[in-house]
Every structure is written in C-alpha cells, then in structure tokens.
Amino acid sequence: MDQERIGKFICELRKEKNMTQQELADKLNVTDRAVSHWENGRRLPDYSLLSELCEVLSVSINELFLGERISNEKYKEKAEENMSKLIKDNYSKELLLKRTLKGFITGMVVFIIVYIIMNR
C-alpha cells in the first residue's frame, strides 16, 4: 500500500467534508496528531478504525486503500488489485521477519558457542 497516496486521499476527503484534522480526530476518538501522521503518509490508520473512518469520509475501504475514488465499472478490478497488493506486502514483510529472526537466532547460537569455548 502506498501510505503517501492514502494520506493525501484522506486529506482530500476530509477537506471535501469541510472538516479540520481536529474534527476528524474527534469523530474517531484519536488525536489530531494521528490524523496529521496519516495525511503526511507517516502512518496508516489502525485497522480497527478503518470502517468508521471510511463511513465518516463516505468512501469504501477499497477506495481508501487505493487512494482514489473507484467507478462501479472498475470496482471489482480494483478490489482484486488491492487484495493482490495486500497479500504481496504481507508476504514480503513475513519473509523479512523470518529472515531477520533466523539471522538473530543464528547470531545467538554462534555467540553462545563462542562464549562456552572461551570460558572453558
């Protein structure tokens, strides 16, 4: 997902509703700073807020993730595209985590072996 694009879209939708960041934040029970982070592409909204955020901004979750309005004709195509991106992003993150964890465990094993050998 493109955090910057999603953030710009949230900002655009909020302004269409003539809301300040504080007003949007109040509706979602978050801080205006959180809204600012979303709009600047530094963070994504928490998943628990997505339905409510989309309802407040009158947009679908699919449109939010895409960062643009979707016509009815293209909705299914864009939904497939979004699902594909989500799966790819999560798979990539999972692989990175596994590699990082594997590297950490390998490093710890080597450290323990060296420690045992050095303290004999």
Residue-wise pLDDT tens digits, 22-77: 999 999 999 999 999 999 999 999 989 999 999 999 998 888 988 888 777 766 67
Residue 85 lies in a domain: no
Query: Could you write out the DSSP letters of every residue in 15-82?
Result: HHTT--HHHHHHHHTS-HHHHHHHHTTS-PPPGGGHHHHHHHHT--HHHHHHTS---GGGHHHHHHHH
Q: Is the pLDDT of residue 99 over 90?
A: no
DSSP one-letter code for 120? -
Residue 21 lies in a domain: yes
Residue 74 lies in a domain: no
Residue-level pLDDT at 116: 72
Residue 101 lies in a domain: no
d(CA 114, CA 102): 18
Based on the number of CB atoms within 10 Å of its own CB, is 51 exposed (0-12), middle (13-18) or buried (19 or more)?
A: exposed
% of residues, the chain, pLDDT over 90: 43
Residue 23 lies in a domain: yes
Helix 32-39 and helix 3-16: axis angle, to 10°? 120
Residue 27 lies in a domain: yes
pTM of this prediction?
Answer: 0.64
CATH number assigned to the domain comprising residue 29: 1.10.260.40
Residue 35 lies in a domain: yes
Residue 92 lies in a domain: no
Contact yes or no for 53/45 (Cβ under 8 A): yes
Range of the domain at 22: 3-69
Number of structural domains in the chain: 1
